[in-house]
Structure 1
Amino acid sequence: MTATLKRYGLGIIAIAATIVVFIVPLAFMVLTAVKDRKEASKLDFSWPTNFQLVENFNQVLSARKFMLVTAFVNSTILTVASVAILVVLAAMVAWVLQRRSSRWNALVNFLILSGLIIPPAIVPTIWVLQGLGLFKSLPGLILVEVAFGLSFCVMLFRAFIASIPKELDEAAVIDGCGPVRLFFRVIFPLLRSVIVTVIVVQSVAIFNDFQHPLYFLPGDANATVQLTLFNFQSQFTTNYNLLFMNILLITIPPFIMYLFFNRQIVAGMTAGAVKG
């Protein structure tokens, strides 16, 4: 009886903590986003007497020459391109490192771990991008996102590839598969659970990234969704309803992704951790 009570008690505490930490702020944000300016200025947790969902949405969307629309387009291009390159490149690197032993493996492993530990150097990265002619451009920022996310993805893929028997590679080679065909026809389809995990985790991280676009992609024409919040904060300092509507619109895409793919994320993370 005591054990059962303790188990349910811990569950109730966990649910209560989740409600306080996640549900309450989300509800406050939604309620403030649909209020008018006068009610929103009170910043209290109350039901709005005058719903202005459509009006607030239209004002935020059309502000600064539809800057939010441009930001969503930029963030979508940035996220899709970066994640696509990360998935393919990280899987290929992890496969080579796991399957082929050489004297360079120790150095490569050190560099991968360094990518997780050492913080990014902003000024040297800007110099490199300027030298390549990619500073203040989406392709340059895509390369930056790929570089900073590659270490995590390689480690995740490598842990899962370690569980795939080498006999599959040998059988495919005997059947006449070359290295490229072997990877894309045999190995890559087996990485589905980890691929989903990498796609969701990296998509949310890149879509919500504020620091890298701020440093490497300045300018209103190149704004991403997180930079619009930074720009709108000064414009809507007293218009909390519009500010929270902007926050709500930015929060919806990552929230939907986690809502629909949370099981795949956990499955991919667990598979990599256990099988590696």
Structure 2
Amino acid sequence: MHVSHRKQDRKNLDKQMKEAEKQPNDDTESPNRQFYIPSQIVNEFGEKGRDHLAKPFRAQMLLAFTAGSFMSFGAAFSILLGIGIEAEGLYYLLTGLGFAAGYAMVFISGAVLFTEINVMLPTYKFHIAGLMHKDMVKFWLSSYLGNIVGALFVAVLIQSSGSLSQPFYTELQFMLDKKMKFMELGAAGWFEIIVSGILANWLIGMAAFLTTAARDITGKLLGTTLPVILFVAGNFQHSAANMGYFSLGVLSDSSYKWYEFVFFNLIPASIGNIIGGALLVALLFSYAYKEDLDKKQGNGN
């Protein structure tokens, strides 16, 4: 009987040890809960940045093209939802919700968006690979170019389809006027767009943060939607989003030229986006959770 009890106790102990081995052994392992904690999210950012950088160039371009396409779809949806809405609060909510559809497709499909890369790659470089090198710059530029081409491609298809009526283009012009209001201010306008771009990519970085935290599709959609509504409502200048609006504007009877979109919005907005994503999300959280990440990489004491 004693032998039988000892065997049973041994089996119970082995079972408990196996269960213990399945549990997270540090703060950056995958959790059993329904969300990731912040240090785990930052670790995921670094791994995503590494994976993006390791992809073949053709894959990088195709995924960037796809993300840019989703930006034009999101821009079109936001404009459609805003038509005829007089109440400002409801207008901001609906236009932001419309654009969130584009971002949800980007985040969940794994497409490569320039403004998301502003968070993922710096996080990877800060903790894993050290200083910036030419492959990182090349990928940054390829994602930017791919986003523009994808946005233009969908805008051409939408325009060629003849699906949208005049109220859409009236609302589009109103949206473009909001985004191009800085043009009249010259150098001061450039500075304001850079600051606005910092705010926009800070929010998109947090959209990526919340989306990564969620482990189910409902949580990911909600995590994407809230910061996107905020940046659209605040008219914060987000270069990838503006690629969608401007691509539609270039192909319509807009009062602006393509080079005005580029030089008086996209360039300064992109500068601000890099600063906002790299410093206020990637750098801030990377150093806040540096000890946890070092432990994960086996660098801790």
| TM-score normalised per structure 2 | 0.28
Per chain length, whose mean CA-contact separation is higher, i.e. which structure has more relative contact order (CA < 8 Å, sep 6+)? Answer: 1
What's the TM-score, normalizing by structure 1? 0.30
